Amino acid sequence: MTLQECYMALGGDYRDVVNRLRSDRLVQKFVLKFLDDDSYNLLCRSMAEKKYEDAFRAAHTIKGMCQNLSFTKLLEASSQLSDALRHGWTPEAEYYMKQVTEVYRQTVEAIRKFHEGLA
């Protein structure tokens, strides 16, 4: 799988991220670093523990990373969750959390397949 195919699989904007970072090498470096980020795990823990301020920060961090990496599909989902949690728990937060989880898993799966192809 190429980097461009990875972006197609995860619902991202490859052209936008290359324009921003200026090289495939840098894009690849930061895409692979996404796998090491703990924000999604923090989000899950915070939601389970009803620590909505922490959940908001985690969702907002994911949103920022996705914006920088042009992970469009996950950006949209995490943005909706971040907005729903901005002032604490809302009924919509649970719905958006499910969306984030689904899209996050798709994103991680696409990145892992890309990474496996590098070996």
Instruction: Enter the CATH code of domain 3-118.
Output: 1.20.120.160
Residue 97 near residue 82 (C-beta atoms within 8 A): no
Alpha-carbon span 2 to 33, nearest angstrom? 17
What pLDDT does 117 receive? 92
Please check the confidence at residue 110 and state whether its pLDDT lies above 80.
yes
Per-residue pLDDT tens digits for 46-83: 999 999 999 999 999 999 999 999 999 999 999 999 99
Per-residue pLDDT tens digits for 80-109: 999 999 998 899 999 999 999 999 999 999
What pLDDT does 45 receive? 98
Q: Which residue reads 């996950």 in tokens?
A: 74
What pLDDT does 119 receive? 72
What pLDDT does 73 receive? 98
What pLDDT does 75 receive? 98
Alpha-carbon span 41 to 29, nearest angstrom? 21
Please check the confidence at residue 3 and state whether its pLDDT lies above 80.
yes
Per-residue pLDDT tens digits for 8-34: 999 999 999 999 999 999 999 999 999
What pLDDT does 89 receive? 87
Alpha-carbon span 75 to 78, nearest angstrom? 5
